[in-house]
């Protein structure tokens, strides 16, 4: 499975580009297009409703982060309350209520949704229509942090089991240790996929938008394709971005929409010729 991550500043055309890529890739295999932006726009773009729908040969998902988070927290709460007294349940309950409504957890929910799709290996291609730059960069940081966190938990659990073995005997492994090992391996597998993703960055030909592209390149350390969108005339491309392969999309008087002539032009005339050059797509064609 090949992972395509589409990032960029808000409003630069990520949804247009990610949708065009997904439709083109569907000619070469099974495609899942997933939005991680809390303000989903894929449904509006395709004129569809719901968290899951199909657009031509592409499966599209728009996860409802607040609902998913609430369901997850309620599940953790049930498991936790099985092992404590009713009095303690009353004390801890407010913490769970806070966690299920904390917007800072939404990025983690979206990361988990992408991870599930990646590790299931049900698709030939997964295209992620990401949120604005901040969320996109947090994806990479969060994934690495989770790997480090599981390693730390494993270290603590092994120390505890070793001490218990010295005092009471018994096994040096338990169900929780096995659970942590599995989670660590799962997260490391996803981290490798994330690091080897095909990174598409969408930018407008403005100073601020291109500076954010430089920040992304410097922070992540890679960029496979730079899409400069809404071009009206000559523009200055910063030196660090000149080495990145790029495609240029002109400014259209009307915003490109699914089924419009401008969207077809972006898909067929601008993006498809570039995709045909990629070695891992030529092999599948």
Which CATH number fits the domain that encloses residue 178?
3.40.50.300
Q: Model's pTM, two decimal places?
A: 0.90
Q: How many domains does the chain have?
A: 2
Looking at the fold, whether 174 and 91 belong to one and the same domain comes out as: no
Looking at the fold, whether 59 and 71 belong to one and the same domain comes out as: no
DSSP symbols for 87-115 = HHHHHHHHHHHHHHH-GGGHHHHHHHHHH
> Residue 216: what are its φ and ψ, rounded to 5°?
-65, -45
**What pLDDT, on a 0 to 100 scale, did the predictor assign at position 154?**
92
Q: Which residues contact 229 (CB under 8 A, 6 or more apart)?
A: 12, 13, 16, 17, 202, 203, 204, 249
Question: Could you report the per-residue pLDDT of 205-256, keeping only the tens digit for each?
Answer: 999 999 999 999 999 999 999 999 999 999 999 999 999 999 999 999 999 9
Looking at the fold, whether 79 and 167 belong to one and the same domain comes out as: no
Question: Could you report the per-residue pLDDT of 125-170, keeping only the tens digit for each?
Answer: 999 999 999 889 988 899 999 999 999 999 998 998 888 888 887 7
Sorting pLDDT into bands at 50, 70 and 90, what band is 84? low
Question: HSE-up of 95 (CA within 13 Å, CB side)?
Answer: 9
User: Would you state the structure tokens that stand for residue 279, as one six-digit string?
Assistant: 């070695």
Looking at the fold, whether 225 and 92 belong to one and the same domain comes out as: no
Range of the domain at 82: 67-103
Looking at the fold, whether 39 and 84 belong to one and the same domain comes out as: no
User: Would you state the structure tokens that stand for residue 10, as one six-digit string?
Assistant: 């808000």
Question: Could you report the per-residue pLDDT of 256-279, keeping only the tens digit for each?
Answer: 999 999 999 999 999 999 999 887
Looking at the fold, whether 44 and 128 belong to one and the same domain comes out as: yes
Looking at the fold, whether 80 and 221 belong to one and the same domain comes out as: no
Question: Could you report the per-residue pLDDT of 159-168, keeping only the tens digit for each?
Answer: 988 888 888 8
Looking at the fold, whether 150 and 56 belong to one and the same domain comes out as: yes
Cite the DSSP H helix spans in the chain.
14-25, 42-46, 65-81, 86-101, 106-120, 133-168, 175-195, 207-220, 261-265, 272-277, 279-282
**What pLDDT, on a 0 to 100 scale, did the predictor assign at position 282?**
65
CB–CB of 98/76 below 8 Å?
A: no
3-state secondary structure of 258: coil
């Amino acid at each position: 499975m090949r992972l395509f991550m589409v990032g960029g500043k808000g409003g630069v055309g990520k949804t247009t580009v990610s949708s065009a890529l997904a439709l083109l890739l569907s000619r070469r295999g099974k495609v899942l297009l997933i939005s991680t932006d809390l303000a989903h726009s894929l449904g509006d773009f395709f004129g569809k409703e719901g968290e899951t729908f199909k657009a031509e040969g592409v499966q599209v998902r728009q996860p409802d982060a607040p609902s998913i988070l609430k369901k997850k927290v309620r599940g953790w709460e049930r498991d936790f309350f099985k092992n404590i007294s009713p009095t303690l349940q009353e004390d801890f309950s407010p913490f769970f209520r806070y966690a299920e409504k904390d917007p800072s957890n939404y990025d983690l929910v979206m990361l988990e949704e992408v991870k599930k799709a990646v590790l299931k290996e049900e698709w030939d291609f997964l295209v992620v229509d990401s949120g604005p730059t901040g969320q996109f960069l947090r994806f990479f940081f969060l994934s690495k942090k989770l790997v480090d966190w599981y390693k730390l938990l494993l270290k603590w659990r092994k120390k505890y089991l070793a001490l218990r073995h010295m005092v009471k005997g018994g096994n040096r492994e338990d169900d929780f240790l096995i659970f942590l090992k599995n989670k660590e391996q799962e997260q490391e597998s996803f981290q490798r996929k994330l690091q080897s993703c095909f990174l598409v960055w969408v930018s407008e030909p403005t100073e601020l938008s291109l500076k954010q592209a430089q920040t992304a390149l410097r922070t992540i350390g890679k960029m496979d394709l730079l899409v400069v969108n809404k071009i009206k005339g000559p523009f200055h491309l910063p030196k660090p971005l000149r080495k990145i392969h790029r495609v240029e999309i002109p400014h259209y008087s009307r915003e490109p929409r699914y089924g419009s002539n401008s969207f077809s032009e972006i898909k067929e005339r601008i993006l498809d010729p570039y995709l045909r050059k990629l070695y891992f797509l030529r092999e599948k064609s």
